[in-house]
Amino acid sequence: MTVKGSIEQKLTQGLAPTRLAVTDESHRHAGHAGHDRNGESHFHVEIVSAAFVGKSRVERHRMVNALLAEELAGPVHALSLATKTPDETAS
């Protein structure tokens, strides 16, 4: 399974998101520390989940980081997060 696939699977199972977008941004970091020319080292995750209700931004990020501990200890060098509740995305 790809790193992106693993991230998607773990976040889906752990947080039951109503929206999940995982973007491999590795190509934007060519020449930077931690860059892997094969990709899958830098990701941006946008996730909307009811599991975030009542949680601070730091708590939300800790929840995601805990689910992705294996990836963060290995192939993932950088992970940027946008974590929201369903109410925060309503217009």
DSSP per-residue codes, the chain: --HHHHHHHHHHHHH--SEEEEEE-GGGGTTSTT--TTS-SEEEEEEE-GGGTT--HHHHHHHHHHHTHHHHHTT--EEEEEEE-HHHH--
For 78-87, the pLDDT digits (tens) are 899 999 999 9
For 7-52, the pLDDT digits (tens) are 999 999 999 999 999 999 887 756 665 555 667 888 999 999 999 9
- Give the residue extent of every domain in the chain: 3-42+52-89
> To which CATH superfamily is domain 3-42+52-89 assigned?
BolA-like (3.30.300.90)
pTM of the complete model: 0.87
